[in-house]
């Protein structure tokens, strides 16, 4: 385990001191933790060790509020009303928010957010999730019984993987994951002693998923394990691609053919920016392919309060919809969930508002839509800006950011830099990212934390900083990169 401590400044007495813990994008094998403490710029930093920057910009984590995005007013109003029901009498809260809060509280034991809920989540919220899915998927039916509220998507993904993994030796469960991947997957697979089976996304083709590559990967894996689960992240993290309809059909057909459990990580379903791209849920396409598919393919799909336009990471809200689960496995799932009692109830309430936002005609609708579209339009603008800027830098190539909230540019690292990295026992892109941090204060995550084709190097940067800050950041990365190329030419 490699931990890099970059203490820029310890806590001052007057400064607002915020410690940013570890970079949470950890890989089972390369544990890259930045431990950064920073204070108000222009005061304490200058008193500390001289650094060529006055502020650390954390572009390493998909955490919108930490980057200054404001919460969606309606969501917070409802959660505040549920938290402190005296506010239900306050004239300063809108009626539609009160209506939502009353509904949620009626679903809580003793009408309190402080009761344990059923382990699967509050009934009426699961009903709201099911209605949301039906609307999203153009009427394809959704059964609240198949919905499980979770402690963020992380918890859902880890739980499902846990009940699917079994066997020993050559019959140990293999779990297919994209490379590059979101490192929750490799970490959980390693925790569970399952077998990680890599399939590579096609960088030359906008990080598309190719079924031939799935087949290659599966066939290879069959020689050393029992591959049973196929994980897909759509829209992609860290790669930002949005899968087209045909690709999803191919994947579903493949899973059906090979009897693979499909795990569709769809937490970025609201984050689609590129013209011509559209989010298609696996569930919807599965139903459109007919009963032979929708009665047989096992599918778990995940959503979260953390991403989208609301960015409520701290609430740890999420749900999963699970289809065609074998009754015995379902029994295990229910049991596992019940041991942990229940997901945080305020997170369940937040999830409810994500799936049941104000509708036209309601008092809060216009403000809600304004806030939502402002976030999404900004993200779309920043996605384009980032792609364009990166592609102007020599030695950098960046695929379109079709969705999600990250750029994952490919960077050329000169061989002299690779040698120096080796001398420091660092992955070359780790070396690059450390230099970037030391010289500019910009914190990004090396591609090696996500996995990449041998010999290629990347980093992941969020597009969450406000537009003006993002522009400065991109300029700084550009200048740094050019100097880096010169230095190691």
Ligand X SMILES: Cc1ncc(COP(=O)(O)O)c(C=O)c1O
Q: Rule CB under 8 A: say whether 171 interacts with a second copy.
A: no
Minimum gap (Å) between residue 26 Cβ and a second copy: 6
Site for ligand X in 325-364 (CB under 6 A): 341
Instruction: Give the Cα separation of 4 and 332 in Å (integer).
Output: 40
Residue in 94, 152, 174, 178 binding a second copy, rule: CB under 8 A: 152
In terms of CB distance, is 117 or 237 closer to ligand X? Answer: 237
Per-residue tokens: 358: 């104000």
Q: Rule CB under 6 A: say whether 304 interacts with ligand X.
A: yes
Minimum gap (Å) between residue 426 Cβ and ligand X: 25
Buried-exposed string 4-15: b where 16+ CB fall within 10 A, e elsewhere:
bebebbeebeeb
Percent helix, strand and coil across the chain, each to the nearest 5 = 45, 15, 40
Site for a second copy in 278-307 (CB under 8 A): 306
In terms of CB distance, is 26 or 208 closer to a second copy? Answer: 26
Parallel, antiparallel, or unpaired: how do β-strands 173-179 and 195-200 relate? parallel
Instruction: Give the Cα separation of 150 and 171 in Å (integer).
Output: 30
Residue closest to 56 by CA, chosen among 72, 34, 75, 77: 34
In terms of CB distance, is 346 or 448 closer to a second copy? Answer: 346
In terms of CB distance, is 336 or 482 closer to ligand X? Answer: 336
Q: Rule CB under 8 A: say whether 374 interacts with a second copy.
A: no
In terms of CB distance, is 340 or 370 closer to a second copy? Answer: 340
Instruction: Give the Cα separation of 293 and 287 in Å (integer).
Output: 7
In the complex, which residue's CB is closest to ligand X?
A: 152
Instruction: Give the Cα separation of 66 and 463 in Å (integer).
Output: 13
Residue in 45, 64, 97, 153 binding ligand X, rule: CB under 6 A: 153
**Distance in Å from the first CA to the final CA of the chain:** 31
In terms of CB distance, is 61 or 470 closer to a second copy? Answer: 61
- Do 97 and 74 touch, CB atoms closer than 8 A? yes
In terms of CB distance, is 72 or 184 closer to ligand X? Answer: 184
Q: Rule CB under 8 A: say whether 334 interacts with a second copy.
A: yes
Interface with ligand X: number of residues (CB under 6 A):
15
Site for a second copy in 97-116 (CB under 8 A): 106-110, 112-116
Report CA-CA distances (Å) from 448 to 224, 352, 468.
24, 36, 29
Instruction: Give the Cα separation of 339 and 316 in Å (integer).
Output: 18
In terms of CB distance, is 230 or 413 closer to ligand X? Answer: 230
Report CA-CA distances (Å) from 458 to 26, 242, 304, 329, 446.
16, 19, 27, 39, 6
Site for ligand X in 311-330 (CB under 6 A): 313, 318
Minimum gap (Å) between residue 488 Cβ and ligand X: 32
Q: Which among 15-23, 148-156, 206-214, 379-387 is the span making contact with ligand X, rule CB under 6 A? A: 148-156
Return the one option of a second copy, ligand X, none that residue 182 interacts with (CB less than 5 to 8 A, by type).
ligand X
Angle, alpha carbons 459-63-451 (nearest 5°): 30
Which SS3 state, helix, strand or coil, does residue 396 take?
A: strand
Residue in 9, 32, 34, 62 binding ligand X, rule: CB under 6 A: 62
In terms of CB distance, is 117 or 217 closer to a second copy? Answer: 117
Residue in 125, 158, 214, 233 binding ligand X, rule: CB under 6 A: 233
Angle, alpha carbons 206-306-69 (nearest 5°): 90
Angle, alpha carbons 115-118-122 (nearest 5°): 85
**How far is C-alpha 291 from the chain's CA centre?**
31
Site for ligand X in 409-428 (CB under 6 A): none
Minimum gap (Å) between residue 318 Cβ and ligand X: 5
Residue in 120, 154, 269, 271 binding ligand X, rule: CB under 6 A: 154
Return the one option of ligand X, a second copy, none that residue 158 interacts with (CB less than 5 to 8 A, by type).
a second copy
In terms of CB distance, is 280 or 307 closer to a second copy? Answer: 307
Minimum gap (Å) between residue 322 Cβ and ligand X: 16
Instruction: Give the Cα separation of 305 and 354 in Å (integer).
Output: 7
Q: Which among 146-154, 239-247, 327-335, 432-440 is the span making contact with ligand X, rule CB under 6 A? A: 146-154
Site for a second copy in 176-205 (CB under 8 A): 183-184, 187-188, 191
- What is the x/- site pattern for a second copy, positions 49-88, by CB under 8 A? ------------x-xxxxxxxxx----xx-xx--xx--x-
Residue closest to 87 by CA, chosen among 74, 75, 101, 73: 101
Backbone angles phi, psi at 381, to 5 degrees: -60, -45
Q: Which residues bind ligand X (CB under 6 A)?
A: 62, 152-154, 182, 184, 233, 237, 265, 267, 304, 306, 313, 318, 341
């Amino acid at each position: 385990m490699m931990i890099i401590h970059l203490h820029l400044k310890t806590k001052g007495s007057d400064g607002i001191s915020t410690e940013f813990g570890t970079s949470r994008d950890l890989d089972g094998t390369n544990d890259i933790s930045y431990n950064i403490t920073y204070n108000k710029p222009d005061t304490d930093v200058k008193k500390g060790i001289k650094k060529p920057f006055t502020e650390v910009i954390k572009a390493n984590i998909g955490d919108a509020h930490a980057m200054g995005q404001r919460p969606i007013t309606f969501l917070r109003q409802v959660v505040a009303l549920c938290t402190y029901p005296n506010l239900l009498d306050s004239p300063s809260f809108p009626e539609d928010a009160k209506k939502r809060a009353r509904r949620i509280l009626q679903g809580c034991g003793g009408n309190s957010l402080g009761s344990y809920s059923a382990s699967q989540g509050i009934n009426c919220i699961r009903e709201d999730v099911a209605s949301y899915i039906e609307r999203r998927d153009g009427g394809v039916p959704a059964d609240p019984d198949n919905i499980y509220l979770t402690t963020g998507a992380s918890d859902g993904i880890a739980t499902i993987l846990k009940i699917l993994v079994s066997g020993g030796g050559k019959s140990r469960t293999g779990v297919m994951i994209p490379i590059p991947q979101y490192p929750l997957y490799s970490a959980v697979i390693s925790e569970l002693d399952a077998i990680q089976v890599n399939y590579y996304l096609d960088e030359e083709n906008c990080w598309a998923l190719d079924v031939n590559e799935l087949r290659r990967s599966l066939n290879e894996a069959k020689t050393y394990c029992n591959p049973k689960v196929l994980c897909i992240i759509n829209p992609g993290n860290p790669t930002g691609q949005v899968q087209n309809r045909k690709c999803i059909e191919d994947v579903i057909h493949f899973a059906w053919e090979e009897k693979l459990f499909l795990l569709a990580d769809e937490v970025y379903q609201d984050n689609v920016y590129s013209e011509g791209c559209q989010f298609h849920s696996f569930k919807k396409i599965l139903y459109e392919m007919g009963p032979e598919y929708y009665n047989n393919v096992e599918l778990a799909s995940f959503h979260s309060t953390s991403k989208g336009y609301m960015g409520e990471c701290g609430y740890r809200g999420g749900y999963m919809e699970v289809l065609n689960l074998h009754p015995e496995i379902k029994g295990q799932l229910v049991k596992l969930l019940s041991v942990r009692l229940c997901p945080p109830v305020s997170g369940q309430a937040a999830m409810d508002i994500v799936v049941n936002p104000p509708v036209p005609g309601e008092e809060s609708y216009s403000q809600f839509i304004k806030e939502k579209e402002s976030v999404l339009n900004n993200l779309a603008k920043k996605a384009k800006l980032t792609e364009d800027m990166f592609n102007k830098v020599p030695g950098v190539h960046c695929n379109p950011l079709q969705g999600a909230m990250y750029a994952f540019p490919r960077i050329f690292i000169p061989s002299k830099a690779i040698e120096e990295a080796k001398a420091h026992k660092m992955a070359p892109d780790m070396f690059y990212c450390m230099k970037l941090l030391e010289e500019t204060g910009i914190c990004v995550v090396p591609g090696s934390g996500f996995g990449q084709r041998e010999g290629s190097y990347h980093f992941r940067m969020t597009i969450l900083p406000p537009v003006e800050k993002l522009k400065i950041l991109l300029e700084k990365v550009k200048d740094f990169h050019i100097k880096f190329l010169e230095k190691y030419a």
